[in-house]
Structure 1
Amino acid sequence: MVAGEVSGDLLGASLIRELKKQHPGAHFEGIGGPAMAAEGFYSLVPMERLSVMGLIEVLGRLRELLKLRRDIVKHYAVDPPSAFIGIDAPDFNLALAKSFKDMGVLAVHFVSPSVWAWRADRVKKIATQVDLMLTLFPFEVSVYREHGMRVDCVGHPLADEIGFDPSHSDARRTLGVRECQTLAVLPGSRDGEVRRIGPVFAATVAGLLARRPDLQVLIPAATPALAERLRALFAGQSVTIVEGQSRTVMAAADALLLASGTAALEGALIGRPMVVGYRLNALTGWWVKRLLTVKHVALPNHLTAQPYVPEFLLGECRPERLIPAVEQALDGDNQAAMTAFAEVHRSLATHAAGRAASAISAVLARTL
């Protein structure tokens, strides 16, 4: 199993728990993080070596990443595993899956790459790389079936873990914060994201606090190092940095300002109005913009009949655009969005890890 970031580590941990129920004697290793390690997973190298995002950022480490992939293939060619499961990180894992498939190993990819959003032509190649694609969302299935691939929509583990609850008093008590209008600000879980998006969000918060001095601002930090960076970015502002507990921070808030990604889905599953802002390296942004084939990027907007999450991407991600949108999220009538988010939660809470483990086991039974 290979996971490349925090969200993949959590998915991998839940999958390991379920696979152990069906295969009690199985051994799990590859690349993973602390959540997978807690389930008995052995990581050959630290997961952080794969935590890189963006065209320019990847190019800067391309030689290292290619060597790592070659080393993994060489390591397992001597004694191939029963199955390879790539968890997200498609640019790294899909080519790795093809190498395992060529060894005669069952190649599984858990979490569909965003072929429905950009680079749709990738599906033809993916069909040669992977034996089984596991998707999190129903709308992702058809594109793979059209190419004759074995695919199964398993739902999303986050929907199984998160209770939809528009109230926030319990979360505020847990954090020990005030009962007042509260904004959660999440500028990303990677250092590169925080470097790009953090200054824009800091300026946005400064503008909001100038207009709303009583606004409580909570900012979760994924790691102690990011907590230090966030303290520097928001220095002099009346904000509270919380190490970890991002989900509790979101639950304590009345509205969210966040980077696009898994956090936006978490916010919808909890039941919070939100505003998404995102920036990329200039060259990466130009490249992505040319290849993008959808109007929206935030996941909740792909799961509801109409978009309820305002998005401000690339050059549109500016304080003067974000401030009024956040104020609308704090003060506006969000009932329609909450109803839609509740339906999203219901449709995705299908015991995803168990379904994924069963799908993998079913294919394994036919190939071993």
Structure 2
Amino acid sequence: MAKTFAIVVGESSGDQLGAPLIKELKKRYPDAKFIGIGGEKMIAEGFESLFDMERLSVMGLFEVLSRLPELLKIRKTLKNHFLQNPPDVYIGIDAPDFNLPLARMLKAHGIKTMHYVCPSVWAWREKRVEKIKKSVDSMLCLLPFEVEFCQKHQLNATFVGHTLADKIPLEKQTLQAREKLKLNVDAPVLCMMPGSRQSEIKRMAPLFIQSVNKIAQSIENLFVLIPVSSEKREKQLQEYLVEASFKYQIIKQDSISALSAANVALITSGTAALEAMLCKTPMVVSYKANALTYKIISKMLTIDYVSLPNIIANREIIKELLQDDATEQNIVNAVLILMGKNEQLRQIELFTQMHRSLIAQADIQAVNAIDSLLLSK
């Protein structure tokens, strides 16, 4: 009998993990059905999305509260659908605040559940581990130290690495990416990524654009690449880019080429920092959250950093400008320093070492873990 895999992702980074996972699953289960919530990349692999992924793409305590009725309605609809049409396994990809409660409901009814991307319980709210254990049968971890953390709490976990770590070359592909994007091979290029969510762009795009306007005054012939994850986000960004005095090109659904082509990246934290690290692109991370959200979360944090490169290294190897430090002048100063060759080379060398640690044939490892779960009693 054909297998059914229920998968739910909440943003483009989850879609980026979900699509190759589906592709690998289809090799072993050619007649399988894939259904839930996914993005364009997953849909291109034959995935049936019951809701627009954008509806789940929300971040921050108070931002979530404003959308809570809609999110609860979507979750209830999914729960009813999966209980009436039980999948062989439910796979939540990231979006833990949405996925884990849904997984818990399904697990209580005998449906096998898995979560892909370990929630950052090692960074804050460690007590959540007990709820996670009640929600999922198995955890797929991107980072090696997460497996040790999960196992300490008797949570079944597998290190799979990151699918992009397997696909992106270890050497920085600047020339190849610039040829692909038809860019001047000698031009100073900055990749600007003010977020993939509507709320992030609203908060960060004006600050980033004004900062880059000043950076362009100091760097002759600066060219800016701006990756976007969807037409909606492109349309939103265009409203802010009327204030831009620099030359730029919007790159649709190809952040890897944009990052690879750039000398330096200015990005919000999150998956973009991991992508930049894997592309060996020196970066400055800057982010502002809702003031009250930041005040609450910062008191709960048990780590000193928010960007994955710094978390993996357990020290500051890239500049983080957060909240009150996320000012136009601070961003300008940090980017201009990073445009110096010596600092770029230092980060590139460190990123190459970190990239090696994440190569693990992620998609194959993930499917092996799914197979083990399917065979378990």
Equivalent residue runs for 1:1-368 within 5 Å:
1-178=7-184, 179-235=186-242, 236-244=244-252, 245-304=254-313, 306-333=315-342, 334-367=344-377
Distance 1:127 1:279 in 2: 32
Distance 1:238 1:39 in 2: 37
Figure out how many residues of one structure are paired with residues of the other and give that number.
367
Do the aligned residues in 2 keep the contact of 1:115 with 1:123 (CA within 8 Å)? yes
Distance 2:54 2:232 in 1: 13
Do the aligned residues in 2 keep the contact of 1:198 with 1:233 (CA within 8 Å)? yes
Distance 2:13 2:33 in 1: 22
Do the aligned residues in 2 keep the contact of 1:137 with 1:348 (CA within 8 Å)? yes
Q: Which moved more, 1:186-195 or 1:231-240?
A: 231-240
What SS does the aligned partner of 2:347 have?
Answer: helix
Q: Which moved more, 1:83-92 or 1:177-186?
A: 177-186
The residue type paired with residue 17 of structure 1 is: K
Do the aligned residues in 2 keep the contact of 1:217 with 1:238 (CA within 8 Å)? yes
Q: Which moved more, 1:277-286 or 1:207-216?
A: 207-216
Unaligned runs of 5+ in 2: 1-6
Distance 2:202 2:51 in 1: 25
CA displacement at 1:212 relative to structure 2: 2.2
The residue type paired with residue 199 of structure 1 is: P
Distance 1:155 1:19 in 2: 17
CA displacement at 1:19 relative to structure 2: 1.6
Q: Which moved more, 1:265-274 or 1:280-289?
A: 280-289
Do the aligned residues in 2 keep the contact of 1:296 with 1:302 (CA within 8 Å)? yes
Q: Which moved more, 1:105-114 or 1:11-20?
A: 11-20
- Scaled by the length of structure 1, the TM-score of the pair is 0.96
Q: CA 1:224/1:43 → structure 2, altered by over 3 Å: closer, same or farther?
A: closer
Distance 1:199 1:238 in 2: 14
Q: Which moved more, 1:74-83 or 1:300-309?
A: 300-309
- Scaled by the length of structure 2, the TM-score of the pair is 0.93
What SS does the aligned partner of 1:2 have?
Answer: strand
CA displacement at 1:305 relative to structure 2: 5.6
Q: Which moved more, 1:150-159 or 1:340-349?
A: 340-349
Do the aligned residues in 2 keep the contact of 1:171 with 1:252 (CA within 8 Å)? yes
Q: CA 1:167/1:50 → structure 2, altered by over 3 Å: closer, same or farther?
A: closer
Distance 1:125 1:218 in 2: 41
CA displacement at 1:258 relative to structure 2: 0.6
The residue type paired with residue 53 of structure 2 is: M
Instruction: Calculate the aligned-residue CA RMSD, in Å.
Output: 1.5
Distance 1:302 1:309 in 2: 10
Unaligned runs of 5+ in 1: none
Do the aligned residues in 2 keep the contact of 1:73 with 1:99 (CA within 8 Å)? yes
Distance 1:116 1:181 in 2: 38
Q: CA 1:193/1:7 → structure 2, altered by over 3 Å: closer, same or farther?
A: same
